[in-house]
Each structure stands twice: as structure tokens, then as C-alpha cells.
Amino acid sequence: MDTSSISIFINEQQRQLILFLLDFGLAPNQLRGDEIVMSDYYRLIITKACNGVIPVLLYISMVWAYPRRSILDRVSWTLYGYIVITLINVARILFVVAVVQEERGRFAFTHDIVGNFIFMVTILSLLALYIKYTNRVVR
């Protein structure tokens, strides 16, 4: 699938940020390039699908589509959401690593089900806070 150079740049920068932040939560030498070593046989490769760009874009689109807010409010909520979603993504990846190190057969459930649930709850909670703030300020 063809993508634009802007898309490639954004995805790569976000992936590098995630890898940088992950290094703080992993054991020394557990992060090797774009791989997290979980055991002799299991490695988690951080690709552009793991960087959290899609949840961030989903959240941003909802914030900017919601009416009655100033540009400054939308920018500040966009930045706040970006930071929260990025940190939640790092925590999600660290959680997957911790679970898989304890029980290798739990990768699919932890990564696909629990990880996506965490993203959905995070995005919907941020959006609910934004709407609550918006309704309180506008009235």
C-alpha cells in the first residue's frame, strides 16, 4: 500500500519516540533496536502498527469535529490527548511484555484484546472529559 512521505515521517518519528520511552521501563539491554527481547524465543518488534498513531488520529478527529470550542482549546486538548495516549501506549506495551514473560501463551489475548480495550477506554475517557469541559465552559 502506497503512503505519503509525510505519513512515513510521522509514523517513524512516533515509533522512535515509543522506543525511546520504552527503554526507561525495560530491563537493561532488553530493547535491541526495534525489538524487545522477552525470552530466548520471543521478541516483540515495534513497528508502525505499534506506535499509537491511529488512536491519536482518532482522538484528534473527534476533538476537532466537536463544535463550539475555540482553536486554543482544541489545540490544548489535542496536545493533552496526544501525551496521554502516547504514555498509555508505552504502558500497554510494557504490560504485554510483562504478561508474555510470565505466560507466553497470553500474547494474542493481551496484545489484541486487552491492548485494544485499553486504547478504546482511553480515547473515550479523554473525549468524555473534553465534552464535559466544553459543556461546562460554554454555558
- What gap in Å lies between CA 84 and CA 22, rounded to an integer? 15
Dump pLDDT digits (tens) for 37-47: 988 888 888 88
Provide the number of structural domains found in the chain.
1
Strand partners of residue 82 = none
Print the domain residue range for 91. Answer: 5-138
pLDDT value of residue 2? 63
The region, left, alpha or beta by phi > 0 then psi within -120 to 50, assigned to residue 66 is: beta
pLDDT value of residue 126? 94
